[in-house]
Amino acid sequence: MRAPVISVFRRPRSAPRVFAGAGGSAGSFAAGALGTGRLGVVAAGALGAAVMLGAVLLLARWVRSIVTLLVIGVIVALAVSSFVGLLLTWTVPQRALQYWRWQLGSYSGVSPGDLTVFAPTVGAGLLVAFASMKPLNALLLGERYAQTLGVRVRRLRAATLLGASLLAGAITAFCGPISFPGIAVPHLARRLLAVADHRLLLPACVLTGMIVSLFCSIVAQLPGTGLALPVNIVTSLVGAPIVVAVLLRASSTVARTA
């Protein structure tokens, strides 16, 4: 007798969510893969984010165009994804399936045990970001001007790298690689406020990111249908047009100034 086939996008009546295992087991999946526990998950995620961000910043020394730098970042991400896909060809099928589920992304699966590590790490990253607001404002007028005001540019870059790595590494480790909010939300907040002051932009980015993420998470549940989508599908649909608009705007600006 054949077993009934259940669609992966349909929630069984007895289960509250289809993809609770996708994002919900993100921390446990990564911890099991590393064998180092939740702290090891955060450390590995932050280290990986720091390496990738450092590589992009290194390339930024020779690339002055924001559009080109963004394209380079996307290409680096695709190259890393291809390398991970290559590694998955030698892993056991069960682990590959767990990775696939984790890669779909979910905001709802962080357990209370995960919060004991997740919340302090995110809080530390936000603390570093908020502490860098004034130096970042000085840096808007150039490195030389910032140095005349007493800003240590190298220390500021290191602090920015540390804060971004903590935030990106922790969130990716426990929620999965959520696509586009990290690129789209800062540009959206800048467009909404029409200012370059980091004292306003950073809190605006936090609030806008929370609203956009909550909206995408609600839409992914498809209320009233009994279906659930991976949150990455919704974030891509929301964030991709914003990124395309930013690229087109930057290209038109370059063309007018040329």
Predicted TM-score (pTM) of this structure = 0.70
pLDDT at 3: 44
Burial class (CB in 10 A: 0-12, 13-18, 19+), 237: middle
Going by C-beta distance under 8 Å and a sequence separation of 6 or more, which residues neighbour residue 171? 122, 178
* Res 37: pLDDT: 63
Give me the pLDDT at residue 258, please.
55
Question: What is the Cβ-side half-sphere exposure of residue 134, based on CA atoms within 13 angstroms?
Answer: 6
| Structure token digits, residue 63 | 């690339």
Helix (H, G, I), strand (E, B) or coil at 8: coil
What is the CA 99 to chain-centroid distance, rounded? Answer: 17
The pLDDT score that the predictor gives to residue 203 is: 92
User: Domain-by-domain residue ranges, the chain?
Assistant: 20-64+88-177, 178-258
Task: Using DSSP, state whether 247 is helix, strand or coil.
Answer: helix
pLDDT in tens, the chain (258 residues): 444 433 434 444 444 444 333 444 454 555 555 445 667 777 777 888 888 777 777 777 777 666 777 777 778 778 888 888 888 888 888 878 878 877 888 877 677 777 888 888 889 989 999 998 988 888 888 888 888 888 888 888 888 888 888 888 888 888 888 878 888 888 888 888 888 889 999 999 999 999 998 898 888 888 777 777 888 888 888 888 887 887 777 666 655 655
Structure tokens at 118: 């997740």
User: SS3 for 227?
Assistant: strand
pLDDT confidence of residue 2:
43
Residue bearing tokens 């980015």: 205
